[in-house]
Each structure stands twice: as structure tokens, then as C-alpha cells.
Amino acid sequence: MPKKKDLFLVADFYCCYLLQSLAKQQSFYIGSTPDPIRRLRQHNGEIKGGAWRTKKDGCAPWKMVTIVYGFPSNIAALQFEHAFQHAHQTRHIPVATRISKSKVAGRSLAYKLGNIRLLLMAPFFARMNLKVQIFDRDAYEQWCANKFGARLPDFTFVDQGFAEMSEFLQYIKDKENAIFARLKELVVQGSHKCSVCSVEVDYTVVEEREVPPLVSVCYHAECLSVAHLTCLARKALVQEVEACNEAELAAGSQVLSRAQMFTKLRRTDLTQYSQASRNLLKERLEQGEEVSDAGFVNPVVPVKATCVECGRVLVWSAVVKNATRLRAYAVEPS
């Protein structure tokens, strides 16, 4: 039987990666893993395991070109991997904007990088605030050249600052651990009021069979405002609806589809918002257009939230990741 803690723990890091064959420049491999260093060594036959195809067809050795990371779960990374492998037919890329027209077409680095851009822009993935790390100089130049002119979401972080994967992974780990060390101290101290609903949150009194709530803690310096994750999510979603501009809605934009707003209305407790906000939501729902299949997004996940106390922006994927780690820590401190 798994330990209770294991039920709540997520991998600290999970990425989707792109390998290029050094022997055959037109050969690529797309996968996902929590450990890209070990995975590359497996593909190159240095250690056991890894995909059979990468060893048998004379493509080895492989080099790591780029990774996409920041996924809220390993499932999300697998979804990205699958869409990337099937860029010619995935529902995440509308037919009109596809650059890979068939399974075998577009076997060059420019196409692979173009497809990453198209997927980052897909509504489903755009909400995850994914980041891109490029390890190869030529690939970075091609990324910047952007052969297919694909747009990116506003907050997309793309970097080529690390020559070695190990340096990069250590940097990410150090950064996240430094933030997490601050957060966990606050939560183990005892009772705190949720900044949205004012109900007490206390991780120091977790019963054996109880599932503790997910808690958001502001990660900005000198703040540490606490809120239930669901409370903050509701607030952030309503703010998103309010901030949505009329032209986008009128154009049937994917930013907020009718289906999304409908789901928000059903799942959002509107009683705590002003009458004006509620009217606005309903009005927009009524004016909204039918949503296409390509417009599918996860309707209950905000992109970002605003800290109730310090007013600074919180990137949602980071909030969720910290909340998950905190809960695992609360169940079994380590």
C-alpha cells in the first residue's frame, strides 16, 4: 500500500524533450521525463532502459535540443508529448495553422521548433505558463528566426542560458527550494486565515484519515498571504472574466469561450461577488458564441491570480505546484 504522502506528491520536475540525432540530422525523438539527464543517457545506450527505437536504427548518439517544462502534472507533460508527436493531426493545433501536413512531412529542426510554438499557443497549454529551455546554439538561432512566424503567449519564458543540462536543472531546483523553504515554515507555524473566505487553515492538526486542503501561499518577498487554493482560483477566474475585453468575446475568441463561462458560472460561488460582476458574467455568457472543438480549454484553471494582500501577480502553475508540495509536507514533514 502506498504511503499517504505518496498520494499527494507530484514530481518536482517534469518535461517534454526533443532529441536530434547527431548521425542523421533529420531524425528526431520526442519524449517526456522527470529526469532528462538520465533519459538522454538511456537513449544513448550509456545506461539501461529508454526507447528501443533510439538505439536500433543507427541514429545514436542523440543530443538534447530543447525541453519544455513547468507542467502542472506529469499527465500534462504526456499530453504535450502526444500532441507534439502528432503535430499533423492534434486537436490542439487548428488545421489552418498547422505546419506539419502529414506524419512524415516537416522533418527538420525548424518544423519541430515551429510545432512547439504552435502548441504553447494552444489554449489548453497556454494556460500552463510553460517555459522553454534550449541547449543548442543553432536551435536557439532557429527558434529566434521563427521560420513560420508563430506567435507565443505573452508570458512565455524562453532561455538559452545554460550549456549543460545539469547546471540548468540545479538552478531550477535551487530557485524552487529557496521559495518553498519560506512557504513551509509559515504553514507549519499553525493557524492562518484564508485571505479570501477568512476560514482558518491549519496544517499542524491534520488527522490520520483526513485529506488536507490545498493552500496557496504568496511567494513574493515579505508577504506570505495564505488562501485556500479553491478560494483563490474562484477569485482569479472571476477577475479573468471581468478583464476580458468585449472585442475578443464578440470575435468568438478562444480566450473565453461560451462553454468556459458557462462552467465558471456553475462552479463559481457568485454570492460573494458584487451584483455588477454577476450581471457582467451573465451578460457575457448570453452574448458568447458557440465554442469550436479547437477552443477547448480547462475551464476551472486560471492563468494567474492576484495576491489579496500584496496585490502582486501570482503565476498559477507556480501556486499549484507549491500548494501540492506543501500538502505533501503537511502530511509527512521531511
β-pairing verdict for 200-202 and 191-193: antiparallel
Do the beta carbons of residue 74 and residue 140 sit within 8 Å?
A: no
In angstroms, the Cα distances linking 216 to 25, 48, 160, 187, 226 are 45, 40, 31, 10, 6
In angstroms, the Cα distances linking 151 to 44, 64, 95, 119, 155 are 34, 24, 16, 10, 12
Q: Extract the C-alpha cell encoding 320.
A: 499549484
- Cβ atoms within 10 Å, residue 164: 10
Do the beta carbons of residue 72 and residue 321 sit within 8 Å?
A: yes
318 binds Zn ion (CB under 5 A): no
* H or E segment and range at residue 121: helix 109-121
Looking at 228, 234, 235, 321, which residue binds Zn ion (CB under 5 A)?
A: 228
225 binds Zn ion (CB under 5 A): yes
Looking at 59, 64, 116, 231, which residue binds Zn ion (CB under 5 A)?
A: 231
CA neighbours closer than 13 Å in the CB half-sphere of residue 245: 3
**Which CB sits closer to Zn ion, 110 or 186?**
186
194 binds Zn ion (CB under 5 A): yes
183 binds Zn ion (CB under 5 A): no
Looking at 196, 236, 238, 241, which residue binds Zn ion (CB under 5 A)?
A: 196
Instruction: Give me the least distance between CB of 243 and Zn ion, in Å please.
Output: 19
197 binds Zn ion (CB under 5 A): yes
Instruction: Give me the least distance between CB of 296 and Zn ion, in Å please.
Output: 29
307 binds Zn ion (CB under 5 A): yes
Instruction: Give me the least distance between CB of 32 and Zn ion, in Å please.
Output: 33
Instruction: Give me the least distance between CB of 305 and Zn ion, in Å please.
Output: 10
Instruction: Give me the least distance between CB of 225 and Zn ion, in Å please.
Output: 4
Instruction: Find residue 159's DSSP bridge partners.
Output: 133
Query: Exposure pattern of 175-195 as b/e (b: 16+ CB <10 Å)?
Result: ebeebbeebbebbeeeebebb
How far is 43 from 53, CA to CA, in rounded Å?
A: 9
**Which CB sits closer to Zn ion, 311 or 333?**
311
Looking at 223, 265, 280, 301, which residue binds Zn ion (CB under 5 A)?
A: 223
Amino acid at 63: K
310 binds Zn ion (CB under 5 A): yes
- Binding map of Zn ion across residues 253-292, x = CB under 5 A, - = no contact: ----------------------------------------
Which are the contacts of 62, defined by CB distance < 8 A and separation ≥ 6?
19, 20, 21, 22, 29, 40, 43, 44, 54
Instruction: Give me the least distance between CB of 228 and Zn ion, in Å please.
Output: 3
Scanning 29-37, 243-251, 307-315, 316-324 for contacts with Zn ion by CB under 5 A, the matching segment is: 307-315
308 binds Zn ion (CB under 5 A): no
Q: Which of residues 8-27 bind Zn ion (CB under 5 A)?
A: none
305 binds Zn ion (CB under 5 A): no
Looking at 122, 218, 256, 320, which residue binds Zn ion (CB under 5 A)?
A: 218
Total residues at the site for Zn ion (CB under 5 A)? 12
What is the side-by-side strand order in the sheet with 15-21? 28-33, 15-21, 62-69, 131-134, 157-159
CA torsion angle 144 54 78 131 (round to 10): -20
Scanning 98-106, 153-161, 221-229, 246-254 for contacts with Zn ion by CB under 5 A, the matching segment is: 221-229
Residues that bind Zn ion (CB under 5 A): 194, 196-197, 218, 220, 223, 225, 228, 231, 307, 309-310
